[in-house]
Structure 1
Amino acid sequence: MALDNQDLLFASLMGSRAVSLIQNVNILNGQLRKHVLPVIPFLPLKNDNNVSDVPGKAININDNWTTPNAVNEDEQFFPLSFSFKENSVRWVFPYEPMIDFGSGNNIVKRNVAKQGEKLIGTIKERWNRKDFDITVTGVLIGSIMQGKPEDCFPKDQFIKLFEFLKHSKELFIYCHPLELAGITKVVVEDYRFPFTKGENVQAFELKLTSDYSYELLIKEDF
Structure 2
Amino acid sequence: MTLDNQDILFASLMGSRSVDLIQNANILNNELANRVLPVIPFLPLKNQNNVLSQKGHAINLQDNWTTRDSIEEQKQFFPLSFSFTGGAGTNWLFPYEPMINISSGNNIVKRNVAKQGGNLIGTIKERWSRKDFDITVTGVLIGSIMQGKPEDCFPKDQLIQLFEFLKHSKEIYIFCHPLLLLGINKVVVEDYSFPFTKGENVQAYELKLTSDYSYNLLIKEEF
TM range (shorter): 0.7 to 0.9
- Which blocks of at least 5 consecutive residues in structure 1 are unaligned? 34-42, 52-59
- Provide the rounded CA distance (Å) in 1 between the counterparts of 2:83 and 2:209: 14
- Provide the rounded CA distance (Å) in 1 between the counterparts of 2:103 and 2:76: 22
- Provide the rounded CA distance (Å) in 1 between the counterparts of 2:170 and 2:134: 17
Aligned to 1:148: 149
The runs of 4+ residues in structure 1 deviating greater than 3 Å are: 3-7, 48-51
Aligned to 1:191: 192
Paired positions, count: 192
Q: Which amino acid aligns with 2:73?
A: E
Q: Which amino acid aligns with 1:106?
A: N
Aligned to 1:62: 60
Instruction: Name the SS for the 1:8 alignment partner.
Output: helix
- Provide the rounded CA distance (Å) in 2 between the counterparts of 1:127 and 1:203: 38
What do the CA deviations read for 1:82-133 (whole angstroms, capped 9, x no partner)? 0001113100000000101100000000111222333111110000000011
What do the CA deviations read for 1:21-56 (whole angstroms, capped 9, x no partner)? 51xx279x59xx9xxxxxxxxx922324668xxxxx
Shift of 1:221: 2.0
Instruction: Name the SS for the 1:204 alignment partner.
Output: strand
Contact residue 188 and residue 206 of structure 1 kept, 8 A: yes
Aligned to 2:92: 91
Instruction: Name the SS for the 2:157 alignment partner.
Output: helix
Contact residue 50 and residue 65 of structure 1 kept, 8 A: no
Q: Which amino acid aligns with 1:62?
A: N
Instruction: Name the SS for the 1:87 alignment partner.
Output: coil
> Following superposition of structure 1 onto structure 2, how do residues 1-222 of structure 1 map, counting pairs within 5 Å?
4-5=3-4, 8-10=8-10, 14=13, 21-22=15-16, 25=17, 44-48=43-47, 62-63=60-61, 64-88=64-88, 89-222=90-223
Q: TM-score, normalized by length of structure 2?
A: 0.78
- Provide the rounded CA distance (Å) in 2 between the counterparts of 1:151 and 1:81: 25
- Provide the rounded CA distance (Å) in 1 between the counterparts of 2:202 and 2:49: 19
Instruction: Name the SS for the 2:117 alignment partner.
Output: coil
Shift of 1:146: 0.5
Contact residue 140 and residue 205 of structure 2 kept, 8 A: yes
Structure 1 pair 195–158 and aligned structure 2 pair: CA distance change class (3 A): same
What do the CA deviations read for 1:162-201 (whole angstroms, capped 9, x no partner)? 0000000000000011111111100000110111111101
- Provide the rounded CA distance (Å) in 2 between the counterparts of 1:61 and 1:218: 64
Structure 1 pair 74–26 and aligned structure 2 pair: CA distance change class (3 A): closer
Contact residue 66 and residue 145 of structure 1 kept, 8 A: yes
Identity across aligned pairs (percent)? 71
RMSD of aligned alpha carbons: 2.5
Shift of 1:157: 0.5
Contact residue 189 and residue 209 of structure 1 kept, 8 A: yes
What do the CA deviations read for 1:61-83 (whole angstroms, capped 9, x no partner)? 52322211210001000000000
Shift of 1:153: 0.6
- Provide the rounded CA distance (Å) in 2 between the counterparts of 1:104 and 1:123: 18
